[in-house]
Structure 1
Amino acid sequence: MSKPVVAITRPKDRAKKACEIVEKLGGEAILAPTLDLEPVNTESLKNLVARKEDLDWIIFTSPTTIVSLNKFYPDFLKTLECNLAVIGNKTGKLAEKQGLEVDLMPEEFTAEGLIEEFKNQKITGKTIGIPRTASARPVLPQELEKLGNEVILAEAYKSLFPMDEDAVKDLIEKIENGKIDAITFTSPLTVENFFEIGENKAKIAELLNDNLLTVCIGPITARVLEKYDVSHIYPDTYTVPDMMELLFKTLEKVKK
């Protein structure tokens, strides 16, 4: 029996772990990033760093935020004294590697999950810094402000259209020829850009529905797949390892 071939669409610099998990579970990983991330030192990030002493909380929503701060302001994390909230295990572990203590991480790894925790703890009247990508959903800062907090938004990195479109086009060709068993998406933009490169959106949706198993990391990404009428599954816990475990368990059931 040949190895299941799993397509990974997440950014190249964040795909290594996903590829390793696929291989560990007995599959073959095909990397075709539909999203690239670029750290940027924007005026809004400079402002956030300048106001470090004003912060009661800072929120890291992805590892790339930490990478960006380390690149442009290597002393910032070393001298950070406010409370820290993170979304996701990977972000939390990277923060701890920097010597930071994570004060809050929601059980549900989404902006909505974090908002619920802030509501439950009645966190209000605080100054909260959120360095992230400008293309992120507005729900987190909006809801925190509704709770009576001041939010300092800062663009720490850009979410870019994939630089290697040929790799994605090659992936689509492989899907069309039945050479891919499953595809994974880890953010709404990985889905949107995939369909953008594929051009014929109806045809792409048909290929995904007919030719393979589509697995995403959680409900936020699932909404975009639903928009394109793509059948999909996602794990109860929104992490890459859980997503991959669900993927291989589902493939095993299909074989039987």
Structure 2
Amino acid sequence: MSKPVVAITRPKDRAKKACEIVENLGGSAILAPTLDLQPVNSESLKDLVSKKDELDWIVFTSPTTIVSLNKFYPDFIKSLNCKLAVIGNKTGKLAEKNGLAVDLMPEDFTAEGLIEEFKKREITGKTIGIPRTASARPVLPEELEKLGNTVILAEAYKSLFPMDEKAVQDLIQKIENKEIDAITFTSPLTVENFFKIADDKAKLAQLLNDNLLTVCIGPITAKVLDEYDISYIYPDTYTVPDMMELLFKTWRENNG
């Protein structure tokens, strides 16, 4: 059986592990980030840091948040004296590596999953800090406020259009040449930016449906693929390793 060629569209600083998983599972990885992440010391982040002692909870939704806080405020995390909620194993492991104990991590690695956990525990009347990207969906702060909490939102990093647009254009050319077997998407923006770069969006969507196995990390990313009428699969657990395991299992079943 030939080695599947798998396109990885996640940010470059997060893609190393995904590429390693592809290689370890017997595939070949093509990296074409359709999203770049840049830590920023925003005014809102400064405000959150200044209110550290007012926090009852802090929520880390991605590893990049922790990286950004460590870059600009190296003493902030180690001096936190509040409860910690995280979304995702990777975020939780990095928080623990930084000396924090994780008090809450939902089984469903989405904002909705975290909201459900806060509802179950009847967490209300608390001050909750959420450092994240400004382009993140509003559902998490909105729903936590509906529960009667005070939310302090802070921009910890920016989600940028790909710096290396040529790499994405080269990937699209490879897709047209039928050189790619599968493509992975790990966030809504990875899909949106991918199609922004394409000259013919309908043609690209058709190529994905006809020639590629499209795998995304979970239902939130899947909603954007639905907008382009693209067929996809995603794992039961919304992690990159589970996504890749499903990709290779499905590809081998289809090409066995």
Q: In the alignment, what sits opposite 2:216?
A: 216
Q: How does 1:176-195 map to 2 (within 5 A)?
A: 176-195=176-195
Q: In the alignment, what sits opposite 1:171?
A: 171
Q: In the alignment, what sits opposite 1:100?
A: 100
Q: Post-superposition shift, 1:255?
A: 1.0
Q: Post-superposition shift, 1:199?
A: 2.8
Q: How does 1:1-256 map to 2 (within 5 A)?
A: 1-256=1-256
Q: Post-superposition shift, 1:211?
A: 1.2
Which structure 1 residue ranges, 5 or more long, are not aligned?
A: none
Q: Distance in 2 between matches of 1:101 and 1:204?
A: 44
Q: Post-superposition shift, 1:6?
A: 0.3
Render the CA deviation track for 1:64-84: whole Å, top value 9, x for unaligned: 000000000000001011000
Deviation beyond 3 Å, 4+ runs, structure 1: none
Q: Distance in 1 between matches of 2:198 and 2:162?
A: 13
Q: Distance in 2 between matches of 1:190 and 1:204?
A: 15
Equivalent position SS for 1:123? coil
Equivalent position SS for 2:223? helix
Q: Distance in 2 between matches of 1:145 and 1:76?
A: 24
Q: Post-superposition shift, 1:167?
A: 0.3
Q: Distance in 2 between matches of 1:64 and 1:239?
A: 16
Q: Post-superposition shift, 1:204?
A: 1.1
Render the CA deviation track for 1:120-152: whole Å, top value 9, x for unaligned: 000000000000000000000000000000000
Q: Distance in 2 between matches of 1:36 and 1:199?
A: 21
Render the CA deviation track for 1:60-112: whole Å, top value 9, x for unaligned: 00000000000000000010110000000000000000000000000000000
Q: Distance in 2 between matches of 1:163 and 1:152?
A: 30
Q: Post-superposition shift, 1:179?
A: 0.5
Render the CA deviation track for 1:145-201: whole Å, top value 9, x for unaligned: 000000000000000000000000000010111100000000000000000001321
Equivalent position SS for 1:114? helix
Q: Distance in 2 between matches of 1:22 and 1:50?
A: 42
Q: Distance in 2 between matches of 1:200 and 1:69?
A: 40
Q: Post-superposition shift, 1:2?
A: 2.6
Render the CA deviation track for 1:207-231: whole Å, top value 9, x for unaligned: 1101110000000000000011100
Quick one: which amino acid aligns to residue 54 of structure 1? E
- 8 Å Cα contact 1:87/1:106 also seen in 2: yes
Q: Distance in 2 between matches of 1:194 and 1:44?
A: 29
Q: Distance in 1 between matches of 2:57 and 2:227?
A: 35
**How many pairs were matched up?**
256
Q: Distance in 2 between matches of 1:13 and 1:45?
A: 22
RMSD over aligned CA atoms reads: 0.5
Q: TM-score by structure 1 length? A: 0.99
Q: Distance in 2 between matches of 1:151 and 1:140?
A: 10
Quick one: which amino acid aligns to residue 227 of structure 2? K
Equivalent position SS for 2:148? coil
- 8 Å Cα contact 1:176/1:211 also seen in 2: no
